[in-house]
Structure 1
Amino acid sequence: MYAFDYQRPSAIDEAVSLLRSLEEPKLLAGGQTLLPTLKQRLAQPGTLVDLSRIPGLAAIERAGEGVKIGAMARHASVATSEVVRALIPALADLAAMIGDPAVRNRGTIGGSLANNDPTADYPAAALALGATIVTNARRIAAEDFFTGLFETALGEDEVILGVEFPKPERAAYRKFRNPASRYAMAGVFVARTVGGVRVAVTGVGQEGVFRWSAAEAALASSFTPAALDGVALDEGNLMSDLHSNAAYRAQLAKVMAKRAVEAAAG
């Protein structure tokens, strides 16, 4: 690990000021990706700006007909939240599938979204549910937030404060996990909303999370697993690595989509 300075602000304004004034700052939320990266010397920030002391960032509450989750809410808190389980049980189920108990009790939803790992779970939920990411400066629709592999629309001095998820009519998430890391080799979040059916896929795309428009069109006509029989992903845009090739991931995504539809419909 390279040497770095450490700051622990007690207010958002203070954190933003540090981001604007320091050289090579890096925000620290749960640290489940950042700290291993630092240990392997794959990153060299000048200063870590720890958000854990800022009050109010871990709240989970009802917001209209949906749910607002603070950026520093732990995965375990989302998984067990009575509010989330009552309004969007699929989101609670997703949080319960992340990593292992140690990861779920340290990792945060804001950190996951900001990192935008191509195999992470929350980006699929945000995209499928039409979530809004709330920062210190603006509100960003999930459609505009994820811009590429480990890339988001966040500015250099922008901090995620929370995420607003509208309540769907029906929703479910299913994933095929890497047995070692428990990251999604293929994860599909299906949501039927007042605006139509939305299907988001993670763990598969070369550019990260994406909406599967062909599956959405098929499910709009018939919200059943059988509706996806004739639908296939374009393998040219999918990942191939030591775990599986693009064709295998395409098939996994289709199977996970069918399972998600079955769970949502049932």
Structure 2
Amino acid sequence: MKPFKFNYLRPTSVEETLQYLEEYGEEAKILSGGQSLIPVLNMRLSTPKYLIDIGKVEGLNYIREEDGYIAIGALTRHVDVEKSQIIREKCPLLSEAIHWVGHAQIRNRGTIGGSIAHADPSAELPCVITALRGEIVIASTSGEEIVSPEEFFLTYLLTSLQPDQMVKEVRFPVLNPSSGSAFVEVARRHGDFGIVEVAAVVDLDEKGEISFARIAVGGASPVPCAVEPAEEFLIGKSPTDEVLKEASDMAAESVEPDGDMHASADYRRELTGVMTLRALKLAVDRSKECTRI
């Protein structure tokens, strides 16, 4: 199929983009990398009257460290994140997860802001930013605001983003050098959206006990799910097999999976526990390597 007829707009600045959004509101859609939007348009699941192509907007393509975060502009492409030395050093969880995003051709075109705004609960970046408790910078003609992933992701493919707003920047916290992280995923084939994916971060203190823990699950709930009960349970405990297994069981209990043609709800729940255990063990081993415990 082909998309419904639309008016094509190509701003060159954030200000111009926001003016278009204020003027056309719900009748407009933003096009950045197009890897998610173009298929939706072709299937006519969305029929905007105005398509705002922000590919030439200046000042939205960057990766920089500031105030304890890795700040990434909305137009930064996946491949730029994949090649970034600062992300490999400061936020290895994101560096590991980005390799799971589609195929090389998709990563060459897809953008960080587009992936976050599309809000597919099986996508890798929403899972990572949920695990790390990152921040999303939203802009409109009225100014900017910062929202948490919990505030931003509402349900499947739906966010708190208003018709006159756009994602301007995404912020991932810099990880402690002694922490270990892991991103694991099960998909029908590499490059597909994950059936279930888990992002985990663990930091061990000088006694070898867990002093910091972050866990998020994607693909098993309408939005990426931060597993706070399991995180709290792990703090102060030695990372034995029994402790990690109990935390993974808590993760499986916390999700609300739906069944579909790819996997039943029961399978997704079971897989959540298995993948959480795998991610936690990897994260613990990597933290031990960093701290030489």
Structure 1 length as normaliser, TM-score? 0.92
| Corresponding residue number in structure 2 for 1:199 | 215
| Corresponding residue number in structure 2 for 1:217 | 232
Report which stretch shifted further, 143-152 or 173-182. Answer: 173-182
Q: 1:246 aligns with which of 265, 283, 288?
A: 265
CA contact (8 A) 2:10 2:53 kept: yes
Q: 1:154 aligns with which of 152, 157, 161?
A: 161
Shift of 1:100: 0.5
Counterpart CA distance in 1 for 2:232 and 2:190 is 34
CA contact (8 A) 1:63 1:164 kept: no
- The answer to whether 1:60 aligns with 2:33 is no
RMSD over aligned Cα, in angstroms?
Answer: 2.0
Shift of 1:40: 1.3
> Structure 1 residues 187, 180: CA separation in 2 closer, same or farther (over 3 Å shift)?
closer
Counterpart CA distance in 1 for 2:153 and 2:238 is 29
Q: 1:99 aligns with which of 102, 105, 112?
A: 102
Shift of 1:108: 0.9
Counterpart CA distance in 1 for 2:240 and 2:75 is 36
1:105 is paired with a residue whose SS is helix
Shift of 1:236: 7.8
Report which stretch shifted further, 232-241 or 106-115. Answer: 232-241
CA contact (8 A) 2:121 2:224 kept: yes
1:34-53 residue pairs with structure 2 within 5 A? 34-53=37-56
CA contact (8 A) 2:118 2:157 kept: yes
Runs of 4+ aligned residues of structure 1 deviating over 6 Å after TM superposition are none
| Corresponding residue number in structure 2 for 1:18 | 20
Report which stretch shifted further, 35-44 or 216-225. Answer: 216-225
Shift of 1:165: 1.2
Q: How many residues get paired?
A: 265
Counterpart CA distance in 1 for 2:203 and 2:134 is 12
1:84 is paired with a residue whose SS is helix
Q: Give the letter for the 1:186 counterpart.
A: V
CA contact (8 A) 2:182 2:280 kept: yes
Cα deviation code 1:41-98 (max 9, x no counterpart)? 2210111101111112110111133311111111111111011011011101111111
CA contact (8 A) 1:235 1:246 kept: no
CA contact (8 A) 1:84 1:91 kept: yes
- The answer to whether 1:130 aligns with 2:133 is yes
Counterpart CA distance in 2 for 1:259 and 1:119 is 18
Q: 1:188 aligns with which of 191, 194, 198?
A: 198
| Corresponding residue number in structure 1 for 2:91 | 88
Shift of 1:39: 1.0
Counterpart CA distance in 2 for 1:94 and 1:180 is 12
CA contact (8 A) 2:258 2:264 kept: yes
Q: Give the letter for the 1:245 counterpart.
A: S
Shift of 1:180: 6.9
* Greater Rg over alpha carbons, structure: 2
Cα deviation code 1:173-217 (max 9, x no counterpart)? 111123175111101111247994221110111x22111233223
Counterpart CA distance in 1 for 2:40 and 2:46 is 6
Counterpart CA distance in 1 for 2:36 and 2:191 is 12
Counterpart CA distance in 1 for 2:76 and 2:239 is 32
| Corresponding residue number in structure 1 for 2:183 | 173
Shift of 1:250: 1.3
Counterpart CA distance in 2 for 1:180 and 1:83 is 26
2:184 is paired with a residue whose SS is strand
> Structure 1 residues 257, 148: CA separation in 2 closer, same or farther (over 3 Å shift)?
same
Counterpart CA distance in 2 for 1:168 and 1:202 is 21
Q: Gapped runs of 5+ residues in structure 1?
A: none
Counterpart CA distance in 2 for 1:242 and 1:75 is 28
Report which stretch shifted further, 186-195 or 64-73. Answer: 186-195
> Structure 1 residues 17, 261: CA separation in 2 closer, same or farther (over 3 Å shift)?
same
> Structure 1 residues 235, 57: CA separation in 2 closer, same or farther (over 3 Å shift)?
closer
Identity of aligned residues (%): 32
1:124 is paired with a residue whose SS is helix
